[in-house]
Chains A and B, each alone.
Chain A
Amino acid sequence: MAKKEVDDRFKKFGTVSFTAITKTNDFISYLEKGKVMGTKCKKCGAIYFPPRSDCSGCLQSNMEWFEVTGTGRLLSYSELKYGPVGFEDDLPYTIALLDYGDYKVFGRISKDIPYDDLNVGMELKTEFNTLPNGQINYVFKRP
């Protein structure tokens, strides 16, 4: 009997992925095509980023994907001088939160923006990124 196929696409997400099995695994396939996607509830229209497979508003599990496009406003950020195990080679790096109005996106600032150029309120875009260790994520860049 053939071994059951395990959908563990999410193990590719981030410098270190801590969970591989999720119903939102299509996020990874979209990301590999350069698209950062969230989910929208087909019944009540609730918008989710990070994407979810279930809607807490109407308890339905019927989602469609939407693409994160345009720019978001930088709400806050911090540059880390120490990281958890597995992130040592990335240091220093800057985590940040962008506000897109209907939703927010948490991630990292692209290395090509110097820390001193960052300001709360500036507009940045979210873009697919390949990490040095072959893993994938997304980063915030100048529009």
Chain B
Amino acid sequence: MGKVGIIGVGQSNFVRGYPGSIRELAFEGFKEAIEDAKIQTKDIDASIIASAPEYDKQRSPAGVIAEYLGLIPQPTFYIESICSSSSAALKVAYAMIKAGLHDVIAIVGFQKMSEISSSESQERMGRGADIQWESPFGTMMPAYYAMYARAHMAKYGTTGEDLAKIRVKAATYGQINDKAVYRKPVTLEMFTDPESNMSATVAKPLRVGDCCANADGSSCILVANEEKARAMCEKPVWILGLGAASEAVNMAGRDLLTGLNVGIEAGKQAFKMAGVTPKDIDVAEVHDCFTIAEMMAYENLGFAEPGEGKDLITSKETYKEGSIPVNIDGGLLSKGHPIGATGGSQIRTIVLQLRGEAGEMQVKDPEIGLAHNIGGVGLYGNVTILGR
């Protein structure tokens, strides 16, 4: 059986309050991917649309978006795993291509977080967990990750300053990514300056600066079987490994509080399938919805031993010039986190890096890259390994 290649990538600017509809937003990422691949819409024989439906007013958005993109009457599928929806869609696309069902598939991830009012959004956030047994206590996404941060601090001595260093790195690269929503610098001092918004507590011990930037956005990944990929594309990037995992929704069902089991499990699967080890990864995108999430990703993927994530960021090994550059596009923290579009955006960044086309963000000559995408509070995990 042949390989599956990525022949084109695109994403919209990640913005606050996108001035258009969800289909217009999806069009932006799709158009860029089509132009990147230099193919025609008619070359695509199926589409997978990915988003988190609680932010949509449109019921069943896949058909509406497929039509707007000119992808009818080809089949379209809707895949949802909250924040990791578009990475999950990539795995489904891979399987459909390997099965010979389709030759070229478009994966379109999108989220217009501003589609609903902020009070509607707040109401939905209250239902972001186990609605029977946890939500009645008043849980919020940051508070769950804050519990992981507290447990990590208690076990390993990780500090708020260690976490802040991850945000400082993200902001370093958000400033050079013209598609990022947050383009300003962040300093360690801001986290201790009561005048700075960055220092304001959200859920102890996490502060505003530890939380990712909400954004509207879309992404698109075009994948093809080996024959089509070689015929259509000068520099296809190959899918080497795919891992996916799930976890108990209720915290009471979890054994690990200093890392995410889904990241560990999906990583193991992806490394095994690709036949590589963490040391072989030249550039990575990890799911930094909160600073602690990036810290745990270092350890869960094997870039650092458990508890030594703080040393990795302190020594700046995850900066562009370091031994394992991570989130050199600003990550979710600064680039922004439009739920359904995020995985596709991470994969786009890795593809551009492997093709040597990441501009100012380019890491030196990477051959193998990894994207780590988490859905919910470690409810779903996807790890994708790509190579030239």
Interface residues of A (CB under 8 A from B): 10, 13-19, 22, 49-50, 75-87, 90, 93, 95-97, 103-108, 115, 119-121, 135, 137
Asked whether A85 lies within 8 Å of B119 as measured between CB atoms, the reply is: yes
B-side contacts of A13, CB under 8 Å = 132, 136
Asked whether B251 lies within 8 Å of A84 as measured between CB atoms, the reply is: no
- Check A79/B123 contact, CB under 8 A, given A18-B136, A120-B154: no
Asked whether B250 lies within 8 Å of A81 as measured between CB atoms, the reply is: no
B-side contacts of A19, CB under 8 Å = 131-132
CA distance in complex: A83, B133 (Å): 17
Is B171 close to A, CB under 8 A? no
CA distance in complex: A76, B252 (Å): 11
B-side contacts of A16, CB under 8 Å = 126, 135-136, 138
> Per-position contact with A for B165-194: 1 when CB-CB < 8 Å, else 0?
000000000000000000000000000000
A-side contacts of B144, CB under 8 Å = 78
Asked whether B138 lies within 8 Å of A87 as measured between CB atoms, the reply is: yes
- What are 29 A-B pairs at a CB distance below 8 A? A14-B135, A16-B126, A16-B135, A16-B136, A16-B138, A18-B126, A18-B127, A18-B136, A19-B131, A19-B132, A50-B132, A50-B133, A76-B150, A76-B151, A78-B147, A78-B150, A80-B202, A81-B204, A82-B140, A83-B138, A83-B140, A84-B122, A84-B126, A95-B147, A97-B257, A104-B252, A106-B251, A119-B154, A137-B137
Asked whether A76 lies within 8 Å of B257 as measured between CB atoms, the reply is: yes
CB distance from B140 to the nearest CB of A (A): 6
CA distance in complex: A81, B151 (Å): 19
> Per-position contact with A for B192-235: 1 when CB-CB < 8 Å, else 0?
00000000111111100000000000000000000000000000
CA distance in complex: A84, B205 (Å): 18
CA distance in complex: A18, B54 (Å): 15
Asked whether B250 lies within 8 Å of A75 as measured between CB atoms, the reply is: no
Which residue of the partner chain A has the closest CB to B122? A85
- Check A97/B136 contact, CB under 8 A, given A75-B151, A78-B147, A81-B202: no
> Per-position contact with A for B240-261: 1 when CB-CB < 8 Å, else 0?
0000000000111110010000
**Beyond known contacts A18-B132, A108-B138, A121-B154: 18 more, CB 8 A cutoff:** A18-B136, A78-B150, A79-B203, A80-B138, A80-B203, A81-B201, A82-B140, A82-B203, A83-B138, A84-B123, A84-B125, A95-B138, A95-B139, A95-B143, A97-B257, A104-B251, A104-B252, A108-B137
Asked whether B146 lies within 8 Å of A78 as measured between CB atoms, the reply is: yes
CB distance from B127 to the nearest CB of A (A): 6
Is B27 close to A, CB under 8 A? no
Asked whether B250 lies within 8 Å of A79 as measured between CB atoms, the reply is: no
The 10 closest A-B pairs by CB, nearest first: A14-B136, A84-B126, A78-B146, A120-B154, A87-B138, A50-B133, A18-B131, A76-B151, A104-B252, A76-B147
Which residue of the partner chain B has the closest CB to A138? B137
Q: How large is the interface on B (under 10, 10 to 19, 20 to 34, 35 or more residues)?
A: 35 or more
Which residue of the partner chain B has the closest CB to A103? B252
CB distance from B269 to the nearest CB of A (A): 22
CA distance in complex: A18, B124 (Å): 11
CB proximity to A under 8 Å, residues B32-76:
none
Partner of A87, one of B126, B148, B203: B126
CA distance in complex: A103, B252 (Å): 7
Identify which of A10, A17, A85, A121 gathers the most chain B CB atoms within 10 Å of its CB.
A85
Asked whether A50 lies within 8 Å of B203 as measured between CB atoms, the reply is: no
Asked whether A106 lies within 8 Å of B140 as measured between CB atoms, the reply is: no
Partner of A85, one of B126, B149, B203: B126
CB proximity to A under 8 Å, residues B265-312:
none
Which residue of the partner chain B has the closest CB to A14? B136
Asked whether A22 lies within 8 Å of B147 as measured between CB atoms, the reply is: no
Is B134 close to A, CB under 8 A? yes
Asked whether B154 lies within 8 Å of A84 as measured between CB atoms, the reply is: no
Asked whether A93 lies within 8 Å of B138 as measured between CB atoms, the reply is: yes
A-side contacts of B201, CB under 8 Å = 79, 81
B-side contacts of A76, CB under 8 Å = 147-148, 150-151, 154, 257
CA distance in complex: A138, B37 (Å): 57
- Check A106/B143 contact, CB under 8 A, given A84-B123, A95-B138, A115-B204: no
Asked whether B203 lies within 8 Å of A81 as measured between CB atoms, the reply is: yes
Asked whether A50 lies within 8 Å of B154 as measured between CB atoms, the reply is: no
B-side contacts of A135, CB under 8 Å = 136
Asked whether A137 lies within 8 Å of B252 as measured between CB atoms, the reply is: no
CB proximity to A under 8 Å, residues B85-140:
119, 122-123, 125-127, 130-140
- Check A97/B252 contact, CB under 8 A, given A76-B150, A120-B154: yes
CB distance from A106 to the nearest CB of B (A): 5
B-side contacts of A87, CB under 8 Å = 126, 138
CA distance in complex: A105, B251 (Å): 8
Partner of A78, one of B130, B133, B143: B143
CB distance from B316 to the nearest CB of A (A): 29
B-side contacts of A84, CB under 8 Å = 122-123, 125-127, 135, 138-140
